[in-house]
Amino acid sequence: MKKRELLEHAKPHYEENQLLELEHAIDFATKAHIGQKRKSGEPYIIHPLHVADTLIDWGMDIDTVLAGVLHDTVEDTTATLHEIENLFGRDVAFLVDGVTKVSQARAGMQDLTNYLPQTKDNLSKLLIAVGQDVRVIIIKLADRLHNMSTLQHMSPEKQKKIARESLEVFAPMADRLGMGRVRMQIEELAFSYLDPSEFNRLKNLMQKRLGKSTRKLGIVRSEVESELAKHTINYVVNGRVKSIYSLHRKMLKVDNNIDDIYDLMALRVIVENKEDCYRTLGILHSMYQPMISRIKDYIAIPKPNGYQSLHTTVITPSKQIVEFQIRTFEMHEYAERGLAASFHYHEQKSNKDYSKRKGQSATLPAQLQWITQMQEVAQRLRDNEEISQDQLNIDLFGNRIFVYSPKGDLYNLPEGALPLDFAYLVHSDIGKHAYSFRVNGNIHAFDKPLQNGDVVEVVTRKMSQPKQAWQELVTTTHARNKLRAHLRQLGIIESLSGAAAIIREKAARKKK
């Protein structure tokens, strides 16, 4: 990757003054990294240019691309954050600082069985950096992707360490941001270094299987295209091959029997709107016998990371089993690029609230509400409040569910969330006056977890007040904070300052 190539790639996507900024950033970074080499022996500047190139591919705003070029300057050269702010503006400096903090936080990761570093200091840096502007982690994903593609130049020990961290930290983060293609790329590269013999075995096994089924699938594709054309549906049909790492995980579930895996290769039908998705599903089911248990509607109820598609598996007259994914072009773009496809920061910059939000849209879609929760946690860390590791794992990195209000509004909660978590998420006053709950029309206990797709109604009474026992009936940090504030107002639990005074008094008595 050279300066000229990057500028050519950027030209169709940015205005002339932005391209001049990009050229300036490349020149600054090239000078800052002069004399530095990568393990491959190439000039170091090749790496940040590749990162910026990826960010352009993902459709990121110019500030993110500039920060991609400059992301290693503060950490690895004599360049300062003050210089970057003077030359490229406060937002670019903010992003570079965030990436630097995430790098420092990564260096402190000891236990990769969790998605978060264990030390409080590094945890704070990571959450504060990412919580304030999620573009920081998008830059870090682009950085990690290029580093993974050049991992062959590292020692075997380093290869395994970086691959494990990528699989256990960065791939799940990409998934949480809905960046499916990036998650898959990271997983494939990581798995090839962590278990090369199994990776190659599965790759060969899949190639043999695909060789047998590709011709048959071509016939099915032609039949489907012909039928969709008759119904005047505008479409694109393409094939999707299962990733090696996804196959590995699926094989573990089916006792290593590849015959029980029906979606090694799937056909993807992309259409213009939601109505055509359902029409296409009906057409496929009129042509082939559907396997009823394998029909999934992720359009009506999206996956927790925002992924939307209709999935169906059918049996053709020749007894071939074929999986189809049906989605709109917009859904396809989101499935591939996730958050990067759904946020347009350059449009938000004209909004006077942009600087307050630091890269967050005014109202986040339900699948990205966890980013707001991350900001709340980061603020508490800045305020030096104590937060347990369990709370962080539940709130930020656990599996997510969607639940609905009776009016059809969508809310995103961690798996295992209880009704009071929902009530406090809707509004603190609703949580405060919760009297009972109805889920899917039935009375629901306070201590019974909610499930994905539940419709939750909170029955409130003005006379109803929070009780101390409710502290055992919330799982999210947000609900716990609101509940404790109410309990302190009612005098049911001590205020923090009151509790501190009691501790100080007891300590003074002991000294006497």
Q: Looking at the annotation, which residues are catalytic?
A: 75-76
Closest CA to 167 of 110, 115, 211, 219: 115
**Cα–Cα distance measured from residue 7 to residue 351, given in angstroms and rounded to the nearest whole number:** 28
DSSP string, 452-469: TT-BEEEEE-TT----GG
Quick check: helix, strand or coil at residue 239? Answer: strand
Closest CA to 358 of 63, 17, 91, 128: 91
Q: Are 499 and 474 in contact (CB under 8 A)?
A: no
**Cα–Cα distance measured from residue 103 to residue 109, given in angstroms and rounded to the nearest whole number:** 10
Secondary structure of 58-115 in HEC code, one letter for each residue: CCCCHHHHHHHHHCCHHHHCCCCHHHHHHHHCHHHHHHHHHHHHHHHHHHCCCCCCCC
End-to-end CA distance of the chain: 71
Closest CA to 394 of 129, 134, 114: 114
Closest CA to 128 of 367, 380, 481: 380
Q: What value, to the nearest 5°, has the Cα angle with vertex 179 and ends 173 and 183?
A: 65
DSSP H/E element including 128: helix 120-132
Enter the DSSP assignment of 133. Answer: -
Evaluated on CA atoms 210, 214, 216, 220, the torsion sign reads positive
Closest CA to 480 of 380, 354, 364, 382: 380
Q: Are 438 and 459 in contact (CB under 8 A)?
A: yes
**Cα–Cα distance measured from residue 361 to residue 357, given in angstroms and rounded to the nearest whole number:** 7
Tokens of 75: 């950490």
265: how many CB neighbours lie within 10 A of its CB?
Answer: 17
Quick check: helix, strand or coil at residue 389? Answer: helix
Q: 90-107 and 81-88 are packed helices; what angle lies between their axes, rounded to 10 degrees? A: 150
134 alpha carbon, distance to own chain's centre: 10
Q: What does the radius of gyration of the chain's CA atoms come to, in whole angstroms?
A: 26
DSSP string, 253-302: HTTT-GGG---SEEEEEEESSHHHHHHHHHHHHHHSEE-GGG-EETTTS-
DSSP string, 191-224: HHHHSHHHHHHHHHHHHHHHHHHHHHHHHHHHHH
